[in-house]
């Protein structure tokens, strides 16, 4: 596999939460209060993903903190019979050149669920309106893995939802991510808070529990979105990933001190690196066989908190090289 710099320890990184709610939908705090909650905790950006009402405003942006434009769209009708529903996150992506993007405070009516085609049409509509689409909290939503495989056009799966985890023990969506990756879909991961309210300064809170760290040349709406689309970020609920690169067919990672570093692969078995005496480690590497459907990294600390890299696709890259 060709050498590549995926995350560079020497480049600027920006921390953000892209899933949260205000009084514009079902949140407890105002836009200003939500902004200040994250700005004062050294976040660089956030998104108010209020339900079915779009946020598109740069009135709250500064050079040091921005609010991404977007919303959360639900289709809940099927839950009455199957306990399933779909929540889709839209982030404004101006590179899609939408002719009629959503306006600030525009309401998007929920569709009535008829079949999986309803969700595909919703994804297509959101993209036509200029949105990067993310599948939110699949475990909380009780989505079926095979349905996520069938759906097309979404860029990422929310693999950690903090609010769902601390309140209902259904916050992890990693198994859904691995399922679609094993069957050839190429999507990234997102960790987020989904904060609605409650205290912001308690040890257990809906706030500050899941985030992404984006590597970008500057802090700006489209710059952050472009980096997310390119996979130039990692997701976390604790550890940090400083550097991730491919050199001489080895995937190398440098991170904050953790108990183990795991390379998750398919169809081969992966690799778990740890010090046998229990001492924390900060780096590891995996030799790429070039027949892997994907390889991704998990850095797991002593408390079980995880930083997740986005996948690389050795088999796909090898096929491209052979075609060239």
| The CATH homologous superfamily of the domain defined by 238-324 | Immunoglobulins (2.60.40.10)
Angle value at C-alpha 189, between 185 and 190, nearest 5 degrees: 145
Residue 323 pLDDT: 67
**CA–CA separation, 162 and 281 (whole Å):** 26
Q: Is 70 helix (H, G, I), strand (E, B) or coil?
A: strand
Q: Are 90 and 70 in contact (CB under 8 A)?
A: yes
d(CA 193, CA 209): 6
φ, ψ of residue 72 in degrees (nearest 5)? -120, 130
Sort strands 211-215 and 86-92 into parallel, antiparallel or unpaired: unpaired
**Which residues sit opposite 136 in a β-bridge?**
none
d(CA 54, CA 73) in angstroms, rounded, equals 9
> Could you confirm whether domain 11-235 is CATH 3.40.190.10?
no
Question: Cβ(57)–Cβ(106) under 8 Å?
Answer: no
Among residues 163, 192, 197, 205, the alpha carbon closest in space to that of 29 is found at: 197
For residues 263 and 288, the answer to whether their CB atoms sit within 8 Å is: no
pLDDT tens digits, the chain, 324 residues: what are they? 889 999 999 999 999 999 999 999 999 999 999 999 999 999 999 999 999 999 999 999 999 999 999 999 999 876 677 788 999 999 999 999 999 999 999 999 999 998 999 999 999 999 999 999 999 999 999 999 999 999 999 999 999 999 999 999 999 999 999 999 999 999 999 999 999 999 999 999 999 999 999 999 999 999 999 999 999 999 999 999 999 999 999 999 999 999 999 999 999 999 999 999 999 999 999 999 999 999 999 999 999 999 999 999 999 887 766 666
At a CB cut-off of 8 Å and minimum separation 6, what does 108 contact?
Answer: 52, 53, 54, 71, 73, 102
Cβ neighbors of 146 (< 8 A, separation 6 or more) are none
Domain ranges, ordered by start, for the chain? 11-235, 238-324
Q: What is the largest CA-CA distance in the chain?
A: 59
Tell me, what DSSP letter sits at residue 310? P
- Distance from C-alpha of 149 to C-alpha of 146, rounded to nearest angstrom: 5
Has this prediction a pTM greater than 0.85?
yes
pLDDT of the residue at 322: 67
Query: Coil, strand, or helix at residue 84?
Result: coil
């Amino acid at each position: 596999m060709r050498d590549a710099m995926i995350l560079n320890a020497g480049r600027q990184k920006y921390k953000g939460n892209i899933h949260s709610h205000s009084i514009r939908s079902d949140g407890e705090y105002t836009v200003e209060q939500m902004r200040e909650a994250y700005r004062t905790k050294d976040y660089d950006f956030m998104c108010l993903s209020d339900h079915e009402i779009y946020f598109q405003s740069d009135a709250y942006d500064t050079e040091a903190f921005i609010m991404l434009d977007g919303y959360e769209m639900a289709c809940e009708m099927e839950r009455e019979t199957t306990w399933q529903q779909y929540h889709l996150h839209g982030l404004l992506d101006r590179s899609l050149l939408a002719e009629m993007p959503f306006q600030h405070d525009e309401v998007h009516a929920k569709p009535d669920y008829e079949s999986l085609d309803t969700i595909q049409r919703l994804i297509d509509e959101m993209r036509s309106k200029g949105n990067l689409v993310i599948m939110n909290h699949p475990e909380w939503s009780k989505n079926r893995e095979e349905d996520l495989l069938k759906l097309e056009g979404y860029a990422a799966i929310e693999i950690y939802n903090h609010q769902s985890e601390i309140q209902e023990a259904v916050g992890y969506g990693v198994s859904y991510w691995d399922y679609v990756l094993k069957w050839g879909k190429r999507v990234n991961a997102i960790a987020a808070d989904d904060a609605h309210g409650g205290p912001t300064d308690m040890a257990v809170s809906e706030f500050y529990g899941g985030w992404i760290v984006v590597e970008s040349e500057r802090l700006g709406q489209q710059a952050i979105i472009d980096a997310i689309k390119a996979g130039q970020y990692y997701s976390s609920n604790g550890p940090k990933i400083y550097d991730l690169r491919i050199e001489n067919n080895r995937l190398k990672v440098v991170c904050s001190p953790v108990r183990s570093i795991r390379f998750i692969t398919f169809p081969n078995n992966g690799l778990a690196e740890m010090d046998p005496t229990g001492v924390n480690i900060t780096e590891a590497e995996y030799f790429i066989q070039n027949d892997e459907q994907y390889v991704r990294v998990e850095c797991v600390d002593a408390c079980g908190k995880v930083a997740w890299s986005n996948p690389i696709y050795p088999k796909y890259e090898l096929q491209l090289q052979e075609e060239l």
